[in-house]
Structure 1
Amino acid sequence: MFQTQKSRYTPTTLLETIIVILLVTASTATSAEPTDSFNKAKKLLENKVYYDHRVTLYCGAAFDEKKNVTLPKGFVTSKHKKRAKRIEWEHVVPAENFGRTFKEWREGHPLCVDSKGKSFKGRNCASKVNKEYRYMQSDLYNLYPAIGAVNASRSNYNFTMLPQAKPSFGSCAMKIENRKAEPPEAARGVIARTYLYMEQRYKRYKMSKQQRKLMEVWNKQYPVTEWECKRAERIRSIQGNMNSIVNSQCQDIVSEFNFLR
């Protein structure tokens, strides 16, 4: 189930992680390359990354190979009830956050005309005509499985602390209020390292000072888990680039283990 931050790793599982890290570091697959297809990205995650760890990010819910969710006991939702039955692939850094840096998203493009001759803009237009946007939208490091209802309710809201808010989904500690979201503790480190990665990877994306400060705090407060290291290495072998924010902490774990031997 949902791994807590306190039990980062054990010697046995750590050794497995070390082997993966060393193998990938020594030789990145020659076929590794990013994809500009969001649909392909989702299939890659389903079949090559999460095939043995089908657990959602925010609520720790199990899901099967057909994306059917086993909701945690006590999970409730007042909205998007049909979407609660399935997992969806969530952009932790919302697509709108970087999408609005593209002119096609903000203003449209001559090629963005539907079958009725009506112009459109936004995500669909940026995806249609701008390859750079498609690569950002399809970056595997920024995509995580989430219960559909949670994904829908989170929308494009920024993360923050909501100390006065109650959990929005019963037993799942995700909080959403006033167009803001507070994730459960077990997801905060993962979220932080994803935000930091996206800002480092894509120069057109910048966090606000307040958001970056929060992510830096969460990054330190909630260190990497074994699964996070394994996930990053699997994505690296598919996509061809490294998430150095995650990798540096995984390497620190390796160094710590070698020191203690």
Structure 2
Amino acid sequence: MTIAKIAFSLTLLVFSFACVAGGNTSNDSFNKAKKMLERQVYQDHRETLYCGAKFDAKKNIEAPVGFLTTTHLKRAKKVEWEHVVPAENFGRAFSEWRDGHAGCVDSKGKSFKGRKCAEKMNSEYRYMQADMHNLFPAIGAVNALRSNYNFTMLPAAKSDFGSCDMRIDDRKAQPPEAARGIIARTYMYMEQTYPKYKMSKQQSQLMQAWDKQYPALAWECERSRRIGKLQGNGNLVVMSRCKTAVL
């Protein structure tokens, strides 16, 4: 093989790796991301992350036996797409979220900041927000109560949702065991993929522990593969674990 051919092959290899390893650069629409997930990723696996609740193509939830909630009753009947790593956790790295922007003025002339301003003025933020690797189906009421709280262990807390062991207390959340490995590898992906996002030391240690304790299952690997095909980049954390995934 000539030097020119070797150089060309290496260039292709580097380019291919960059395409897989990079973040979302193909879709900056959060709404479009949700539609693609529902129609092209979860079409044959309509089940929520935290509670394992079934849902149909019209977003109607079939709550698991024993599921309870006393708040957000209307949202308890519908599926929503939740950022596992909350949008605020990476959004506050953008000045538009923290401080606003000259272009963020409403129809009454009032300035605004936060998510709406970052979404309006910063394309990098929009791509992060629309990254499908970080979006999962959740019962609306669970999404609402989880809010933007960090995950931790809450051994003394009780489930807020009956048979669904999702515990929320003191602005923290403990997910059911079945969701912990998926959550961990999503947090690790976001940190490895986007320089704007960094976990705290405590959160990083927890995610590393959950990653080891709860191995990837076949659906997690298939989900990552489907999203990678649609979005143009894979979750390298998940992909590396799928060699030993539990079928």
Q: TM-score, normalised by structure 2?
A: 0.89
- 1:207 matched to 2:165: no
Q: 1:135 aligns with which of 127, 138, 144?
A: 127
Q: Residue 160 of structure 2 aligns to a residue in which SS?
A: coil
Which amino acid in structure 2 is aligned with residue 68 of structure 1? N
Which amino acid in structure 1 is aligned with residue 160 of structure 2? S
Cα gap change, 1:237/1:33 in structure 2, threshold over 3 Å: closer, same or farther?
farther
Name the CA distance, whole Å, in 2 between partners of 1:76 and 1:116: 41
CA offset digits 1:200-233 (Å, max 9, x no partner): 0001100000000000000000000000000000
Q: Residue 234 of structure 2 aligns to a residue in which SS?
A: coil
Tell me which residue corresponds to 2:243.
Answer: 251
Which amino acid in structure 1 is aligned with residue 171 of structure 2? R
Name the CA distance, whole Å, in 2 between partners of 1:253 and 1:37: 31
Confirm or deny: 8 A CA contact 1:77 1:169 kept in the other structure: yes
- 1:227 matched to 2:201: no
Greater mean deviation of Cα atoms: 33-42 or 59-68: 33-42
Confirm or deny: 8 A CA contact 1:34 1:139 kept in the other structure: no
Cα gap change, 1:253/1:190 in structure 2, threshold over 3 Å: closer, same or farther?
closer
Name the CA distance, whole Å, in 2 between partners of 1:80 and 1:71: 14
Name the CA distance, whole Å, in 1 between partners of 2:161 and 2:241: 32
Which amino acid in structure 2 is aligned with residue 109 of structure 1? H
Tell me which residue corresponds to 2:10.
Answer: none
- 1:67 matched to 2:59: yes
Q: Residue 148 of structure 2 aligns to a residue in which SS?
A: coil
Name the CA distance, whole Å, in 1 between partners of 2:241 and 2:85: 21
Confirm or deny: 8 A CA contact 1:114 1:120 kept in the other structure: yes
Q: Structure 1: give runs of 5+ residues left out of the alignment.
A: 1-24
Paired-residue identity, %: 68
After TM superposition, give the deviation of residue 252 of structure 1 in Å: 3.6
Tell me which residue corresponds to 1:157.
Answer: 149
Residues 68-147 of structure 1 correspond to what in structure 2 (within 5 A)? Answer: 68-147=60-139
Name the CA distance, whole Å, in 2 between partners of 1:226 and 1:252: 10
Q: Residue 173 of structure 2 aligns to a residue in which SS?
A: strand
CA offset digits 1:233-255 (Å, max 9, x no partner): 0000001111111001112449x
Confirm or deny: 8 A CA contact 1:33 1:238 kept in the other structure: no
Q: Residue 196 of structure 1 aligns to a residue in which SS?
A: helix
Confirm or deny: 8 A CA contact 2:217 2:245 kept in the other structure: no
Q: Structure 2: give runs of 5+ residues left out of the alignment.
A: 1-16
Cα gap change, 1:33/1:205 in structure 2, threshold over 3 Å: closer, same or farther?
closer
Q: TM-score, normalised by structure 1?
A: 0.84
Q: 1:178 aligns with which of 170, 175, 178?
A: 170
Which amino acid in structure 2 is aligned with residue 242 of structure 1? G
Confirm or deny: 8 A CA contact 1:98 1:205 kept in the other structure: yes
Q: Residue 165 of structure 1 aligns to a residue in which SS?
A: coil
Name the CA distance, whole Å, in 2 between partners of 1:43 and 1:238: 12
Confirm or deny: 8 A CA contact 1:67 1:87 kept in the other structure: yes
Which amino acid in structure 2 is aligned with residue 202 of structure 1? Y
CA offset digits 1:33-57 (Å, max 9, x no partner): 6210000000010111000000000
Confirm or deny: 8 A CA contact 2:27 2:33 kept in the other structure: yes
CA offset digits 1:93-132 (Å, max 9, x no partner): 0000000000000010011011111110000000000000
Which amino acid in structure 2 is aligned with residue 244 of structure 1? L
